Amino acid sequence: MKPTLRAVAEAVGVSRSTVSNAYSRPDQLSSELRERILEAARQMGYPGPDPTARSLRRGFVGAIGVLFTSRLSYAFTDPFAVRFVTGVAEAAERHDSSLLLVPLPPDAAGARRAVENAAADGFCVYCTGGEEGILDTIRRRGLPFVTTSSRPRADDRWVGIDERAAAHSVAAHLVDLGHRRVALLGHDVLPRAETGLLRVADVTDVPHPTTRERLAGFADAFATAGMAWSGLTVLTAADNTRDAGAAATRALARMPEPPTAVLAASDVLALGALDALREQGGWGPQLSVTGFDDIAEAATAGLTTVRQPAEQKGRTAAELLLDPPEDTRAGQILLPTTLVVRTTSGPVPRS
Amino acid sequence: MKPTLRAVAEAVGVSRSTVSNAYSRPDQLSSELRERILEAARQMGYPGPDPTARSLRRGFVGAIGVLFTSRLSYAFTDPFAVRFVTGVAEAAERHDSSLLLVPLPPDAAGARRAVENAAADGFCVYCTGGEEGILDTIRRRGLPFVTTSSRPRADDRWVGIDERAAAHSVAAHLVDLGHRRVALLGHDVLPRAETGLLRVADVTDVPHPTTRERLAGFADAFATAGMAWSGLTVLTAADNTRDAGAAATRALARMPEPPTAVLAASDVLALGALDALREQGGWGPQLSVTGFDDIAEAATAGLTTVRQPAEQKGRTAAELLLDPPEDTRAGQILLPTTLVVRTTSGPVPRS
DNA sequence: TTGAAAGCGATACCAG
DNA sequence: CTGGTATCGCTTTCAA
């Protein structure tokens, strides 16, 4: 049996409060007494106040939760997620807060339980489909949160980018280069995970909100250019991984009139597309490929993409959580994005 | 004021135990009563049992802690660390456990406090210098842990690789290729972070245990080959980052008789070395560079390196923690490593 | 099935 | 500066 604070108090012959003070408020007792208490504690093997008990009493935990809608092992597959967490961690450390990583099971009930059971003082909600239910659960707990979802309520704290405009910018880049037959590559395009090829008209109710926004942004650009929907194809990747991107892209090989460009909803998918093209031989130079996020590997691969500030997004989210601005209206922060043109995009080849 | 379990009990007109059971032991009451309780709770906005209070009472938290000796934002700079955490996460999810990421401040007292305050049921200790003090703190708390340090006590749970032998294997590879003038590149080679060049004789008491083991392994290989110490140079990087690796490597340019190979203690450093060489022009092909870990970018860069199973290391650590083997002796698990020869290592150029 | 009572281990207020 | 007292919010025998 581990000794408790009480045991220490009895051993030294002082009250529990005094022992507690020795740990948490050194200024409340003589340093001599404090030393005597600490020494006795050491002797007895008392490890200091129990974190859980202390949290209960104090009413706060000292940790912020980061909510993921997927298994962590999957989330970390995307360097963008890692950088986001890194940013959160940075801010959390500055506030002496630890990080509780909470993966949410896919079923609503499980997700609710996970949120209800998470010992945290607040949450950063990363990239969530089916978000509303989760936010409600957090609200019920009366805890603060910051979301990165694409559709915050007016009074929610939020940090994000203009997904649609950003997506628009890459797509417009391709249009300017002359591309007219284009494939959109995204994951969670359909309610069920699937790999393959769709006509754009068949795509409605994209479940993943970010994918939805990005696809919409792509489509906007084509609409603006007065291009026919029929020039668009949608490739659906089973998930947001390089392999899935490659798998989905292979479907292009079977098309009679293949597109001249692949617009991916993330860099991870775009790199996969590049893999698939490379593997199919000479196809590469004829085809433009663009990504989204600008992860480190994008630079190496020469991928044209949209940059969004990953660490900053995480950092800002955590800061918004840990010291909220006075003014509520300052609680929604829009981060800038940049189109980064590299070598994977170019003019349409003459045929 | 959030409603409590007690308030729900009063509202429904049952005892607190019954409400508690409605949440945690559905089989202890009629499903009809249970429904009534849950419904009332919903009405009142009761978010379910408070996680902290529950933890205190039950005596466990439902989270495992991962201890880092550095800021998380720095740790995540190394893809190897990310993959390790991913592995831990995988196992944790299977056991319905969340992950508490705990960065340890550099000072011993701060580190102790961080460990004492972490609300976790046990710890995976990732890559730690000054480890012993930390392990002692965990022991005092009476919590289980798994370490990945290089020198476990006989009765500690441990997962790792034979650092020294693995390092030996790459070094031997270079020796076989004919290299005799070699630079060892590591971080935390000196007690203070520093960038630069040392003679190998000056290197004693390397503070970072992993770096120490790896350098020792490198040295072994040269000793075995009967090579003189004097052929060895040590490059010290300020930290384990690509940039620091590059910076340290630039020191080579000033050497009258530069080495023919750079043996790095991690892939991150090795990639930095490659950067530096590339930047100095034609140097590349003349010089062999090797890494350690086999992160994803190593493959892309064609880096010769030693592969260790990153995710598996994390997964195994968490499993060892979450369901410990009956037999204590099964608590120490040695993972295999492989020498992966790619294109950055080759025979010594004739001069 | 249900409920009463006894904590889990600590902190904070307030009087001395 | 020190100590008594009342919680924090829930779980868990154990008896009814």
DSSP collapsed to 3 states, chain B: CCCCHHHHHHHHCCCHHHHHHHHHCHHHCCHHHHHHHHHHHHHHCCCCCCHHHHHHHHCCCCEEEEEECCCHHHHCCCHHHHHHHHHHHHHHHHCCCEEEEEECCCCHHHHHHHHHHCCCCCEEEECCCCHHHHHHHHHHHCCCEEECCCCCCCCCEEEEECHHHHHHHHHHHHHHCCCCCEEEEEECCCCCCCCEEEEHHHCCCCCCHHHHHHHHHHHHHHHHCCCCHHHEEEEEECCCCHHHHHHHHHHHHHCCCCCCEEEECCHHHHHHHHHHHHHCCCHHHHCEEECCECCHHHHHHCCEEEECCHHHHHHHHHHHHHCCCCCHHHHEEEECCEEECCCCCCCCCCC
Mean pLDDT of A279-308: 88
Residues of chain B with pLDDT > 90, as a percent, come to 65
Whether A29 and A101 map to the same domain: the answer is no
Q: Indicate whether B232 and B303 sit together in one domain.
A: yes
DSSP assignment letter at A65: E
> How far apart are alpha carbons A290 and A260 in whole angstroms?
12
Dist CA A104 CA A122 (whole Å): 15
Of B54, B76, B141, the CB nearest to A86: B76
Q: Measured in angstroms, what separates residue A125's CA from nucleotide C12's C1'?
A: 34
Residue B284: pLDDT above 60?
no
Q: Is A127 domain-assigned? A: yes
Give chain B's mean pLDDT.
90
Quote the CA–CA distance of B120 and B98 in Å, as a whole number.
9
| A314 domain-assigned | yes
Mark whether A207 and A126 lie in a shared domain: no
pLDDT for B164 equals 94
Here the tokens at position B179 are 């290299």
Average pLDDT in the B197-212 region?
Answer: 73
In A13-71, which residue ranges form alpha helices assigned H by DSSP?
A: 16-24, 31-44, 51-58
Asked if residue A144 and residue A83 are part of one domain, the reply reads yes
Grade residue B285 by pLDDT with cuts at 50, 70 and 90.
low
* pLDDT score for B96: 87
More confident residue, B330 or A303: A303
Q: Residue A285 has what pLDDT? A: 61
Q: Which CATH number covers residue A216?
A: 3.40.50.2300
Say if B349 falls within a structural domain. no
Q: Is A36's Cβ below 8 Å from some Cβ in B?
A: no
Q: Which nucleotides of strand C are protein-proximal, with an atom < 7 A from a CB? A: 1-13
| Distance spanning both ends of chain A, measured CA to CA | 80
**Nucleic chain C contacts, Cβ below 7 Å:** A 2, 4-6, 16-17, 20, 23-25, 48-50, 53-54, 56-58; B 13-18, 21, 27-30, 33, 53, 56-57, 59
Q: What's the confidence (pLDDT) of residue A149?
A: 79
Tell me the C-alpha distance between A23 and A341, whole Å: 56
Q: Provide the 8-state DSSP code for A252.
A: G
Look at the block and give the residue holding tokens 């080849």. Answer: A349
pLDDT of A201 strictly over 70: no
SS3 A334: strand
Length of chain B: 351
* A95 in a structural domain: yes
- DSSP reduced 3-state for A340: strand
Label the pairing between strands B98-103 and A98-103.
antiparallel
B37: pLDDT confidence band, cut at 50, 70 and 90? very high
- With a cut of 70, say whether residue A196 has pLDDT above it: no
The answer on B275 and B189 residing in a single domain is yes
Name which of B100, B104, B300, B311 to mutate to probe chain A: the one with the most chain A Cβ atoms within 10 A of its Cβ.
B100
Find the mean pLDDT for residues B17-31.
Answer: 92
Residues A152 and A265 in one domain: no
Mean pLDDT within B172-177:
96
Q: What angle do CA B138, B140, B144 make, to 5 degrees?
A: 45
Q: Sort out which chain B residues have CB atoms less than 8 A from A56's CB and list them.
A: 50, 52-53, 56
Q: Are residues A197 and A214 located together in one domain of the fold?
A: yes
Q: Which two structure tokens, joined as six digits, stand for B270?
A: 């090795």
Q: Is the pLDDT of residue A198 over 90?
A: no
Three-state SS letters, A131-185: HHHHHHHHHHHCCCEEECCCCCCCCCEEEEECHHHHHHHHHHHHHHCCCCCEEEE
Residue type, B169: S
Q: Which two tokens stand for residue A106?
A: 């896919």
Q: What is residue A284's predicted lDDT score, i.e. its pLDDT?
A: 52
C-alpha distance from A196 to closest chain B C-alpha (Å) = 27
Interchain CB contact of A342 with B (< 8 Å): no
On whether the CB atoms of residues A86 and B76 are closer than 8 A, the answer is yes
Please measure the distance between the N-terminal and C-terminal CA atoms of chain B and give it in whole angstroms. Answer: 80
What is the interface size between A and B, counted as CB pairs within 8 Å? 135
- Tokens coding A305: 């993409």
pLDDT at B271 (0 to 100)? 96
CA B256, chain centre distance (Å)? 37
Question: What is the residue range of B92's domain?
Answer: 63-161+310-335
Please report which confidence band the pLDDT of residue B297 belongs to, taking 50, 70 and 90 as the band edges: very high
Q: Which residues contact B185 (CB under 8 A, 6 or more apart)?
A: B234, B235, B237, B245, B248, B249, B262, B263, B264, B265, B269, B270, B273
Give the SS3 label for residue A50.
Answer: coil
Q: For position B211, what pLDDT does the model report?
A: 83
Quick one: pLDDT at residue B132? 78
Q: Among residues A136, A268, A250, which one has the least CA distance to residue A211?
A: A268
> Is the residue at B346 inside a domain?
no
Judged by CB atoms within 8 Å, which residues 130-149 of A form the interface with B? Answer: 137, 140-142
Tell me the mean pLDDT in the region A18-32: 92
CA A51 to C1' C10, in angstroms, rounded, equals 9
CATH of the domain at A43: 1.10.260.40
Mean pLDDT of chain A: 90
Indicate the number of domains in chain A: 3
Whether residue A153 is found in the same domain as residue A92:
yes
Look up tokens 């006075």; give the residue.
A326
**Banded model confidence at residue A341, pLDDT cuts 50, 70, 90:** very high
pLDDT by residue (tens digit) across B111-155? 999 999 999 999 999 976 667 789 999 999 999 999 997 778 888
**How far apart are alpha carbons B246 and A154 in whole angstroms?**
47
Q: Is residue B172 one of the residues assigned to a domain?
A: yes
For residue B88, the distance in angstroms to the closest alpha carbon of chain A comes to 9
pLDDT tops 60 at residue A332: yes
Q: Is residue A181 part of a domain?
A: yes
Do A269 and A173 belong together in one domain?
yes
Q: Are residues A282 and A190 in the same domain?
A: yes
Report A:299-328 residues touching B (Cβ under 8 A): 300, 311
A155 and A76, same domain (yes or no): yes
Q: Is residue A195 part of a domain?
A: yes
Read off the pLDDT of each residue in B85-94 and give the average, rounded to a whole number: 94
Query: How big is chain B by its Cα radius of gyration, in Å?
Result: 26
Q: Tell me, yes or no, whether B137 and B235 share the same domain.
A: no
Cα distances (angstroms) measured from residue A108 to each of A117, A124, A219, A351, B96: 14, 18, 31, 51, 16
Q: Are A270 and A292 in contact (CB under 8 A)?
A: yes
Mutate to test the interface with A, among B43, B58, B60, B76 (most CBs of A within 10 A): B76
